Amino acid sequence: MNQKFYFSLGLCLVLFCCVSNPSLAQNYIIHAGKVFFGDDRPIKDEMSIKVKNGGIIGVMDGYKTDEGFEVIDLKNQTVLPGLIDLHVHLETEYNRNTYLDRFTLNPEDIAFRAYHNGMTTLNSGFTSVRDLGGSGVNTALRNAINQGLVTGPRIYSAGKSLASTGGHADPTNSYRKDLMGMPGVQMGVVNGPAEAMAGVREQIKLGADVIKITATGGVLSVARDGSSPQFTQEELDALIGVATDMGIHVAAHAHGAEGMKRAIRAGVTTIEHGTLMDDETMKMMKEYGVYYVPTITAGRSVADSAKIRGFYSPLVTPKALEIGPKLQTTFSKAYKAGVKIAFGTDAGVFAHGKNYREFELMVEAGMPEKEALIAATSIAAEVLGEQDRLGKIEINFVADIIAVEGDPTENISTMAKAIFVMKDGKVYVKP
């Protein structure tokens, strides 16, 4: 290698840092035309939000200035807390080659894709995400972001989803028998209460913030079943009991009602998808205080993709056509029944950066615009246990702040484009 090579490599690294780094955290005063606070308080006009050292230190009526604080002019926009998506998969973005990618992509390839998807997510206004299952790259990306090595959204990582043998998150589904082997705890496949407990401990050992389980079959796994229970009550009691003891909440992928009921009895925090939940399930969710993360956008997306000849495996296509179209109707029933709704999209099943579509589909299904926004701010922060620092425009909260054109409480489609994004007091997107 010669000097010319090293010079070129150094130049590339300098350029990469220049284009990927946000403005450094500074002291700002944001002049906001309207402010949505992240809860049920009325929107207020003409406010100033004072940001220092990555936090909000003042929320004031009128347009204020202060020496040493740079003014950001958002007088013609609506300012909101940074959005929270409780169900993403940053390592992937579904396409015709997704199954083949498992055999052709190296961890390094996955890492770069995850970084790109994370930046796309952040730039669209989602400053925090809960990544519910990947290869472990999701946890490594979280660490790199937290250490300031790269930029991206704040990640709460589940590491690898836990499944039973042949279940929705068994990574060897559809492999040749000689490649299949007998995946176990280290690959997130557990059978029986003892292995269920070991699986939780293994993911926590690897740095998980949340445990993800596949309580029922799923749509996109190359397996016949899409909705039947995949853990016994004893397995779920053991699994969720260990997670609870260690201060970690559990998210349950579930389409069928019986699998949901078992997870609810065991103490799960969120039900993801919930497509075939019945009235009894909704009643139990209210009784146990379980949150519903509907992922309507994923349902719509897989149903549309299943109509494209050859897009999915023959095992997947009928499940996508059956399950996908039902999600929005289930969401509407759950909302009207009073189930607690928290925002999540399953981005990665569809294109990252399109997370805003969930708002439009929630409103289309009968949820008022303001409640949809609260689901993605203060309620989502509750799920994460971060209700005292995320999800609101409030003094002593983290300066995660975005802005959109127009008033999203009157026209939810304004959420399609964030024209200003700040995370931890650093500006990533500005008009």
Please give the full DSSP string across 201-249, using - where no structure is assigned. HHHHHTT-SEEEEE-B--SSSSSS-SSSB-S-HHHHHHHHHHHHHTT-E
Q: Using one digit for the tens of pLDDT, what is the confidence trace for 2-58?
A: 444 333 333 333 334 444 456 565 899 999 999 999 999 999 999 999 999 999 999
Asked if the domains at 9-82+392-429 and 83-384 fall in one CATH topology, the answer is no
Q: How many residues appear in the chain? A: 431
Return the CATH fold of 9-82+392-429.
Answer: Urease, subunit C; domain 1 (2.30.40)
Domain ranges in the chain are 9-82+392-429, 83-384
Topology of the domain covering 83-384: TIM Barrel (3.20.20)
Rg (C-alpha) for the chain, rounded Å, is 22
Residue-wise pLDDT tens for the chain (431 aa)?
A: 444 433 333 333 333 444 445 656 589 999 999 999 999 999 999 999 999 999 999 999 999 999 999 999 999 999 999 999 999 999 999 887 777 787 788 899 999 999 999 999 999 999 999 999 999 999 999 999 999 999 999 999 999 999 987 677 767 666 677 776 777 678 779 999 999 999 999 999 999 999 999 999 887 776 777 788 899 999 999 999 999 999 999 999 999 999 999 999 999 999 999 999 999 999 999 999 999 999 999 999 888 887 888 887 788 888 788 888 899 999 999 999 999 999 999 999 999 999 999 999 999 999 999 999 999 999 999 999 999 999 999 999 999 999 999 999 999 999 999 999 999 999 999 98
pLDDT-above-90 percentage for the chain: 75
Mean pLDDT, the chain, whole residue set: 90
Q: Is 340 in a helix, a strand, or coil? A: strand
150-188 in b/e burial notation, b at 16+ Cβ within 10 A? bbbbbbbbbbbbbbbebbbbbbbbeeeeeeeeebebebb
103-143 residue pLDDT tens: 788 899 999 999 999 999 999 999 999 999 999 999 999 99
Two tokens at 404?
A: 């959109």
CB-based contact 165:189 (threshold 8 Å): yes
Question: What is the rounded CA–CA span in Å between residue 414 and residue 431?
Answer: 15
User: Taking the complete model, does pTM exceed 0.85, yes or no?
Assistant: yes
